[in-house]
Structure 1
Amino acid sequence: MARSLNSVVRRLVRYFSSAASSLALLGAVSAGAVIEQDRETFEAVRKADLELATIGWRLSVPNASLCDRLEPGLGLQLHTLDQFDSDSRAAAGTYFGFATPVAVEGVVAGSPAERGGIRADDSLVRVGSIDIASLPGKPGTTQRLVATQLAIAALAPDAPIEVEVIRAGAPIKVTVQPVPACRSRFELLLSSGYNARADGTMVQISSQFLEEYTPEQAAAAVAHEFSHNILHHRDRLEARGVDFGMLSGFGTNVKYFRQTELQADLLSVYLLANAGYSPRASIDFWKRFGPSKAGGIFRSRSHPHWRDRVATLEAEIAKLETISARPMIPSLIAERSQPLSGDWQSLLIRAR
């Protein structure tokens, strides 16, 4: 990549004091014809989006047996022309060759989509029974993109899917044989800060993790957030009536958030190991991230100290290293339908 993702982010941030997502940041791209600066920016974002999609793919497919909500794993990274600011939409349309509202930004290497013959910059017309143009979505928003992702996720996880695309102006039909995958969207947030969250259906992580950390350490951060979705933590926290945001560090909220954080830590090492990553990537991540990034009075109340998290992960990794079966399924999976107890102390091992 000619320009690093960080330099792209810095360039875009000059135009914006804040941004909710990469979709908003892309509005800084120049309007009109595709110039070299546009190409570098578009490709930097495509590369980062596909890197996150690949991590998500690697975690979702081998861990399908740990998930009770499945989708057809295709290996597609999709985007929409509506996500671009009106000033950059013409350049994006030209560069990516949008012929329909939703197109293929990238294809995960070795995935069913790649084996089926789908290529980057193919424009989606139909996926199985889904007519892409008929899906709802307000212009200038990502609503149709999200509707497309959710509609595809609702298809049978292992039945062949006929996909119709437009490629270089010509209609093409291919049949893709998906594989079952854990149901979750993975979204990149273009940001020079460190942000990561999961809402039950989506994992969002900022580009800074991909830029500053090794691929395995970034995968560890994604695996932690993904664990929240697999364990239905959002639903279970809401069932307990907790307060989110700054209030998460006060009152009875604390014990529930600490429990979910530790459960996500513990499950993440199993997800990493099942996916072929080193589970110790989680240790490496926290030793690098924790000292300077995991502080703050409010965060420290709702999240265990990073040194204690490392000690807890070390102990769990020692356990899983004695297990030969694959995939490894921890007991946490069987408990996800139960109400949160707030018992985080029994999960935590204190650092010495």
Structure 2
Amino acid sequence: MKPVSSAFRHLAHACRRGSPAIVLPLLFLPLSTRADDAALFEGVRGADMRIAAIGWRLAVANARLCDRIEPGTGMQLHVLDQYGGAQREAAARHFGFATPVAVEGVLPGSPAEQAGLRADDSLVRVGAVEIAKLSGKAGKADRLDAAHLAIAALPVDAPIEVEALRAGRPIHVTIRPIRACNSRFEMTDDFNAASTGTAVQVGAGFLEGYPDEQIAVVVAHEFAHNILRHRDRLIARGVDYGLLSGFGANVKYFRQTEVQADLLSVYLLANAGYPLGATTAFWKRFGPSKAGGILRSRSHPAWRDRVATFEAEIAKAETISARPVVPPILGERDKPLDGDWQSILVRN
């Protein structure tokens, strides 16, 4: 994979997230030729599909660990609404949007690929989901969210009839989905990473210089937050997000969720066949430059302690040969957060 340039990261940030603050920077991008547009859009697609492939591998391999299951198709979707300002027309032209929701790509070996769907197919109907009835606004990702939620709610074990347009011509295919954890995986900007309960977002910055097995460490951590319902449990505790997350009583709850996500991520990676040593390799590289000293977030444990915690949990995981491993920490999913993070963190 070629390095991700700063210009590409800016475009990824500007044209692929769903808030006005993200779309506005497009107005200040320099005018480009169609060849430039094509290179940038394909860079965005390639990065998105790289993250999607890691997420798909984790979501399918760990279906037994999830209590929220969706019919896994292997489609990565995008919407024209995501592209704003000067890039909207160029995106419509490059990706051939004939409907508001299109297939950005299909994952190799997935049910979508086996059914015959291709990148740039514009969706008309997916099962009972009629794309034209999904609402959205320019500069927002509302329609993408609605499409994912509606498709995820389809029967898990039933074939899905898909109607689409390919180069202006109607096509009909039948996807036979497989069971997958209910989460979508997509790119965001810089070195940010987040979980929303139903989505995992990983920054384009991680794609520059980090191998897939280490990017999987970031994806698995955020995915673990979704599986453990951390957002819902933090909201139930009434914690404050944003700048206040690192102060007062908030700290212990956020740290508890961070350590729990680290612990579960070890087994998510093991079940998906990723080398567990990638966890410590990632943190020993990322920690000193991005999570140490004045850059350290008070809501997260020190990176050296996280490495020690990973090492201890990996030693446990490596004694278990069966796959998938269903670790005891899943039993915490239905319990209120109590703020006890110190008893589950290994100090270095």
TM-score of the alignment, normalized to the shorter chain, above 0.5:
yes
Q: Aligned-residue CA RMSD in angstroms?
A: 2.5
Aligned to 1:113: 112
Of residues 312, 317, 324 in structure 2, which corresponds to 1:315? 312
Alignment check: 8 A CA contact 1:224 1:264 kept: yes
Alignment check: 8 A CA contact 1:31 1:90 kept: no
Alignment check: 8 A CA contact 1:30 1:87 kept: no
Measured against aligned partners, the alpha-carbon deviations of 1:215-238 in whole angstroms (never above 9, x if no partner) come to 111110110011011000111111
Alignment check: 8 A CA contact 2:188 2:202 kept: yes
Whether 2:108 is the aligned partner of 1:96: answer no
Measured against aligned partners, the alpha-carbon deviations of 1:52-109 in whole angstroms (never above 9, x if no partner) come to 1111101101101100011111111111122112422222222111111111111111
CA distance in 2, matches of 1:241, 1:59: 30
Aligned to 2:123: 124
Alignment check: 8 A CA contact 1:200 1:234 kept: yes
Letter in 1 for 2:97: F
Whether 2:188 is the aligned partner of 1:181: answer no
Aligned to 2:263: 266
1:349: how far off? 1.1
Tell me the SS of whatever aligns to 1:99.
coil
Letter in 1 for 2:209: E
1:177: how far off? 0.5
Whether 2:269 is the aligned partner of 1:246: answer no
Change (3 A) 1:140 1:253: closer
User: Unpaired runs of 5+ in structure 2?
Assistant: none
Tell me the SS of whatever aligns to 1:41.
helix
**1:1-352 matches, cutoff 5 A:** 4-9=3-8, 12=11, 35-191=34-190, 194-295=191-292, 299-351=296-348
Tell me the SS of whatever aligns to 1:138.
coil
Measured against aligned partners, the alpha-carbon deviations of 1:183-242 in whole angstroms (never above 9, x if no partner) come to 112221133xx1111121221111001123111111101100110110001111111111
41-50 or 254-263: which moved more?
254-263
Aligned residues: 346
Letter in 2 for 1:344: W
1:139: how far off? 3.5
Tell me the SS of whatever aligns to 1:323.
coil
CA distance in 2, matches of 1:14, 1:195: 11
Letter in 2 for 1:295: G
Measured against aligned partners, the alpha-carbon deviations of 1:261-313 in whole angstroms (never above 9, x if no partner) come to 11000000100010111122111111111111113558443211111111111
CA distance in 1, matches of 2:307, 2:56: 26
Percent sequence identity over matched residues?
A: 62
CA distance in 1, matches of 2:14, 2:313: 45
CA distance in 2, matches of 1:4, 1:264: 29
1:143: how far off? 1.5
Alignment check: 8 A CA contact 1:19 1:25 kept: no
CA distance in 1, matches of 2:158, 2:14: 45
Tell me the SS of whatever aligns to 2:208.
helix
Change (3 A) 1:247 1:7: closer
CA distance in 2, matches of 1:19, 1:145: 9
1:10: how far off? 5.8
43-52 or 288-297: which moved more?
288-297
TM-score by length of 2: 0.92
Change (3 A) 1:334 1:13: closer
CA distance in 2, matches of 1:271, 1:10: 28
Letter in 2 for 1:165: A
5-14 or 75-84: which moved more?
5-14
Measured against aligned partners, the alpha-carbon deviations of 1:308-345 in whole angstroms (never above 9, x if no partner) come to 11111101001110101110011111221011121111
CA distance in 2, matches of 1:278, 1:231: 22
